[in-house]
Structure 1
């Protein structure tokens, strides 16, 4: 299984390419929303990598995407 090491800032950039828009920033947490109603929150702490469990949760539950599909997207657009 592929690994994805990514910072919050990089994840926000990829989410924007998927059509998400930052709707609110509260401290270090960026709230993003897709036009179809999907919403998630991404912590952006300096340029630190996000915990792998959090990244998987965001991809699977909030984005409703397959993890491997997102990895391919990230490599093509990163």
Structure 2
């Protein structure tokens, strides 16, 4: 899968996708949000910024999802 499809995704869009995957949103510090996944893993993402590809890819892997599964949840 090409990198271009996950480029330009905003934090709040990614948070919604992780919540649809079963995560529970919790308040983080400042503009950041913590999402607790069913596996117990906690993912921290900025709410308002465009996410960099490396950060988003790492969060997707940490959540136990594939890029394709994540894109379907958007």
TM bracket, shorter-chain basis:
0.7 to 0.9
How many correspondences in the alignment?
71
In the other structure, the counterpart of 2:59 is 58
Q: Name stretches of at least 5 consecutive residues in structure 2 with no aligned partner.
A: none
Q: Name stretches of at least 5 consecutive residues in structure 1 with no aligned partner.
A: none
Relative contact order: is structure 1 or structure 2 higher (C-alpha 8 Å, sep ≥ 6)? 2
Normalised TM-score (structure 1):
0.76
Q: Please, what is the CA RMSD of the aligned residues?
A: 1.6
Bigger Rg over Cα: 1
Normalised TM-score (structure 2):
0.79
Q: Displacement, 1:69? A: 3.1
- Runs of 4+ in structure 1 deviating by more than 3 angstroms, as ranges, are none
